[in-house]
Amino acid sequence: MDPAVRLASTVADPLVCQLLLPVEATPDRARADKEELLARLVSFRGENPPLSYEALLSLAQELVGLTAPAHRLPPGEEEPVAAVLSRTLWITGELDTTDVQAVRLGPQDFARKLRSAVPGADRELSPEAAWFHDRLLVTVCLHLLHQLIRRSPVLADRMPERAHRIRQLIDLNDVEAVRGRPEPSAVDAEFEARYARSIAEQYNRLTIYGIDLPNPNTPDNWSLDATYLSLSAEFSSPERREESGDGDSGEPVLPADRALGGHERVLLRGVAGSGKTTLVQWLAVSTARDVLPPELASLRGRIPLVLPVRRFAREGFPSPDNFLRAVRHPLADEAPDGWVARVLTEERGLLLVDGIDEVPETERAALRDQLRRLMRIYSGNFCLVTARPSAVEPNWLADEGFDELALAPMSRDQVAAFITAWHTAAADDEGKDHQRLADYRDQLLSSIPLYRELRGLATNPLMCGLICALNRDRSGSLPQGRKELYEAAMEMLLQRRDPERRVLYADAVKLRRGARERLLRKLAYRMLVDRRAELTMDEALEEISRSLPAIPSTAGQGQPEDIFNHLLLRTGLLREQSDRSVEFVHRTVQDYLAAKETVEQGAFDMLLDHAHEAEWEEVIRMAVAHARPAECARLLGGLLAPGRKGMQRNRRRLLAAACLEHVTELDPDTHTRIRRETRNMVRPTTLEGARSLGWVGPIVLEMLPDPAGVSDKEAHRLAVTVTRINDDAAIHYLAQLRNRASLELRAELARGWRNFDTDRYAEEIIAHLDPEGLYFPVSDRYELAVLRKLGGRARVQIGGPFTPDELLEGLVHEQLTHLWLAYDLGVSMEWLAAFPQLMTLRVNPRLPRVNGVPDGIRILS
């Protein structure tokens, strides 16, 4: 969060202190050990307030006068802005907000709360003046909260992370208010121009699974410009959700790149293949080229520093002077001495730390401490950190002011866009079936919504790419299930890829699928055992040399170097770095192959030793899928064995339950035991626990309690779990909750729509929900059309990229009374005049200000 309109504390403190009563004038606060209503602390309320409204207006005028010159406020706008600011601050004395609640909200959200309490106060301001007012209000709130913390040490004790972040922002304001950003030296500027070009070139390539480029020796990749798909993300604010009590988190689903706007530090979570690294690449390239969208204007002029954690996982977080060497950047040896440190000192850095889960769990705390220290020393730099969802606990970096985002599963429209882009790109490869690509595309577009298995798999770019490639490779005959999908992919890439492309004599090595896969499995297993995401060239050659004598078909095929080059060039599963180290094209591929080799070697004890660690989860699931019945029973029984306590024990037991969906054959006793020992674990007591339970999968549905016998609070938590399980049986369970009156439960059921078949969910859930007070969300055109078929609703939430014409056609004009924008439509709102009953427009606070709203429509944020 960046206030944008800054005031040094030496200037702000004497003014903001006037908004509060002196400590000696508030005897109840002498002990400073309890919450207090702000209305009792401000100096402009009560029978004989020390600060009259006229004095408050004068103070607001002084604040505007101090900051307006730097922001070129239009002539004649200073007094209207001051009038709105004084009205907004005045409302502080009428709220039932306590000092603790205000500090917990933070300056940005507290400012939003004040604005929403005086709706329409800034209606007469120009867009530029309204922007200025909002940013100045955030700055005033920041200094006000800082004064509250200074007056009451209990606030800092109860909320150390929030108090630390507020102090940090005060320091940042003090620095920025007294100095501008310095211009880099001529030497630094020349290097930065070359560095920006190298970043744009290095990261402007994406792997497009199953697309063959004309050069058979080139890995399958494509231009980022041609293939980037903006995915969606959700803010994670469990504390706010659990405290709100109205069944409404207020958090929209936004394009992931747009969601980053206005946030200085973000921890981004996403499952394997969900697009985390692609987003990092897009940010790096867009910043280096200075082609950022308006929402990310705060990143302009910054230097992207891409830090893939796998590059330094063993050595720990590098110092700034070693950033480029640690990630093996090609210009590392040419950078001016101390350049990165200067960039960070001048607060011009964009730190992109990709893949915290690449570090062993036992070493993540040390890595976090190193990152914390870096961010405290260089506090004014932007930072994005990515991780798999379960790699780190909630609020892992909250004490450093990091907001949390989670990449959402791809929506129906995003899946369709990806499939269309994939087949468009495929039309430029060497394939002989270009005339059939349109048929393959249309077949997938119609099949995925119809088949649960495909719908459940096609939730991220990695899986969508594999589905597209396999559908083409098999002329429209797709495998079912995750394991079968990967097995078919291995067959396509390891056996059929070269012969069908007529690449028969690219090198002297001729290996069939079995030999290729075994050697790749050995490399993946070595990485697993060594807890590595890459191998040096010497390590890879050493592993191949050790394995060759046991694989007869490799005899006479050449030296280990020849075999390695064959695997690198011919399989499309390995990727070589500039220093000749090697890694798999995706961690999921590595996990799949490592799991198969683990089962082959019978290394079940090793799996069990690490089963409570998040980065081993996918390996263990795939190992269960590959294991024979007795091996499967041994592995699952080991997950239930005593010896672990607390969260480790719970995680292992839930993993055993999650593995049941991958089992081919298992003795009934083991199956019964898993069900028995996990049954009582599926009644979470918190919303965070309910969300986490969803990852276990469909097996949870068999263990959940009868919905008829639970309270509304527990029913809400059960809905949070079940709406995250992509299985048709989940709809049947949720249907048993649909007639309850609880608004937070009905809101959760409505939000779950996007995770299931649209028509069936609408018929069995949406159509039965009591509409009283409930906003019905629509995120794509199909949902909008289905809601219209149901007769429309009075309250609708817009959660997708619609045009005004689409909404004018899809919404029922006479029905709509409340509209909630949870997505930035990027257009003026005059079109709302077509809805005669519309009374309220609710705009999510994270979205830009709307304009053009017709008179008579109340705006809430």
Equal CATH topology for 230-407 and 513-585: no
> Which band of pLDDT confidence, cut at 50, 70 and 90, is reported for residue 27?
very low
Q: How far apart are the first and last CA of the chain?
A: 17
Q: In this predicted model, which residue has the larger pLDDT, 764 or 178?
A: 764
Specify the range with the lowest mean pLDDT, choosing from 189-203, 725-739, 792-806. 725-739
pLDDT, residue 70, reads 66
Average pLDDT over residues 412-420: 86
Average pLDDT over residues 95-109: 88
Does residue 746 register a pLDDT over 90? yes
Does residue 794 register a pLDDT over 70? yes
pLDDT, residue 790, reads 94
Mean pLDDT, all residues of the chain: 82
Strand order in the sheet with 776-778: 776-778, 795-798, 818-821, 840-843, 858-860
> Which band of pLDDT confidence, cut at 50, 70 and 90, is reported for residue 841?
very high
Average pLDDT over residues 754-765: 89
d(CA 838, CA 819): 8
pLDDT, residue 173, reads 66
pLDDT digits 0-9 by tens, 235-262:
765 443 333 334 444 566 777 877 887 7
Does residue 680 register a pLDDT over 90? no
> Which band of pLDDT confidence, cut at 50, 70 and 90, is reported for residue 493?
low
> Which band of pLDDT confidence, cut at 50, 70 and 90, is reported for residue 175?
low
**Ramachandran assignment for 581, one of left (phi > 0), alpha (psi -120 to 50 degrees), beta (any other):** beta
Domain ranges for the chain? 9-178, 230-407, 412-500, 513-585, 775-861
pLDDT, residue 11, reads 78
pLDDT digits 0-9 by tens, 319-374:
888 899 999 899 999 999 889 988 888 889 999 999 888 887 778 888 888 888 88
Sign of CA dihedral 82, 88, 91, 93: negative
Q: In this predicted model, which residue has the larger pLDDT, 419 or 390?
A: 419
- The dotted CATH code for 230-407 is 3.40.50.300
pLDDT, residue 388, reads 82
pLDDT, residue 757, reads 83
Q: What letters, b where the CB count within 10 A reaches 16 and e where it falls short, cover 556-593?
A: ebeebeebbbbbbbbbbbbbbeeeebbbbbbbbbbbbb
Does residue 502 register a pLDDT over 60? no
DSSP H or E stretch at residue 53: helix 53-67
pLDDT digits 0-9 by tens, 522-577:
999 999 998 888 888 899 999 999 998 888 888 777 888 888 888 887 776 787 77
Does residue 489 register a pLDDT over 60? yes
pLDDT digits 0-9 by tens, 444-468:
888 877 666 677 677 778 778 878 8
> Which band of pLDDT confidence, cut at 50, 70 and 90, is reported for residue 177?
low
513-585 fold: Arc Repressor Mutant, subunit A (1.10.10)
CB 115 within 8 A of CB 177: no
pLDDT, residue 221, reads 57
**Ramachandran assignment for 502, one of left (phi > 0), alpha (psi -120 to 50 degrees), beta (any other):** left
Q: What Cα–Cα distance (Å) separates residue 360 from each residue in 92, 316, 543, 610, 613?
A: 48, 11, 22, 10, 8
Does residue 798 register a pLDDT over 90? yes
- Percent pLDDT > 90 in the chain is 29
Q: In this predicted model, which residue has the larger pLDDT, 684 or 832?
A: 832
> Which band of pLDDT confidence, cut at 50, 70 and 90, is reported for residue 218?
very low
Does residue 495 register a pLDDT over 80? no
Does residue 222 register a pLDDT over 90? no
Rounded (5°) CA angle 286-289-290: 80
Does residue 675 register a pLDDT over 70? yes
CB 775 within 8 A of CB 799: no
Average pLDDT over residues 149-169: 77
The reported pTM is 0.63
